[in-house]
Amino acid sequence: MNTVYHMMSDDAFAHLVAQDIKNNVNDNQRQFLRESQNLKRWSRCLDALLSNLNEQVEEIEGDMESDTEQYSALGEDGSKLLAESMHHYLGQKRKIEKFRGHVLRKLNEVAEFISMPEDGVSSEDDILIMCRQAIIRHRKELNENDIEPTPYDEALWEVLNGRWNFEEIEYDEANLIEI
């Protein structure tokens, strides 16, 4: 791995972690994060980011309370100002909470990496367990992100029920997306 990555400052590492959450990293950067010596640092960085996001939400909620008190005392004009203010705060809060959800998912991913043996999986049974977990995770991510599954996704999920439906899929109905 590039020595520039190994000498990375905490701020640069935190920036890389944030970019990874936004899916704005290249394969080398992604691989660097997943190196065993970086997993705990990555987890700590995500914990700090999560804490920061929680603090931002608390600040917004405090500002909302403060504005409600202040603008309520102004009568009808205050009601208009309060509505604009609440619209702004709720928009900020929604963005933070959405990003927070991505951070939580990434924390779970890192926890999975940390729990894996350093030398990888050692048996065929371990590989099967990992494949099952990957399929379950795939279905969960599509559902949580409101992504319409393709017939191939559904056939993959049916493997968990002991059914192989891939041959039944017509190419035209597969809704494949060209990349």
Assess whether 160 and 139 both reside in one domain: yes
Condensed to tens digits (0 to 9), the pLDDT of residues 157-175 reads: 998 888 888 888 876 554 5
Instruction: Tell me how many domains the chain contains.
Output: 2
Q: How confident is the model at residue 177 (pLDDT cuts 50, 70, 90)?
A: very low
Q: How confident is the model at residue 5 (pLDDT cuts 50, 70, 90)?
A: low
> Rounded to 5 degrees, what angle do the CA atoms 131, 149, 142 make?
65
- Rg of the chain over Cα atoms, rounded to whole angstroms, equals 22
Assess whether 138 and 172 both reside in one domain: yes
* pLDDT at position 169: 81
Q: Which pTM was predicted? A: 0.62
28-37, 77-86, 120-129: least confident range:
120-129
Assess whether 6 and 58 both reside in one domain: yes
Assess whether 50 and 130 both reside in one domain: no
39 within 8 A of 107, measured Cβ to Cβ = no
The residue among 122 and 162 whose pLDDT is bigger is: 162
Q: How confident is the model at residue 21 (pLDDT cuts 50, 70, 90)?
A: very high
Q: Which of 97, 115, 133 is the endpoint of a domain? A: 115
Condensed to tens digits (0 to 9), the pLDDT of residues 60-72 reads: 999 999 999 999 9
Assess whether 107 and 152 both reside in one domain: no
How far, in Å, CA of 86 to CA of 65, rounded?
10
50 within 8 A of 121, measured Cβ to Cβ = no
The residue among 131 and 87 whose pLDDT is bigger is: 87
CA atoms within 13 A on the CB side of 12: 8
Q: Which of 115, 145, 170 is the endpoint of a domain? A: 115
- Domain of 167 in residue numbering reads as 119-179
Assess whether 40 and 108 both reside in one domain: yes
Assess whether 109 and 139 both reside in one domain: no
Ramachandran assignment for 148, one of left (phi > 0), alpha (psi -120 to 50 degrees), beta (any other): beta
Q: Which residue has the tokens 């993959």?
A: 156
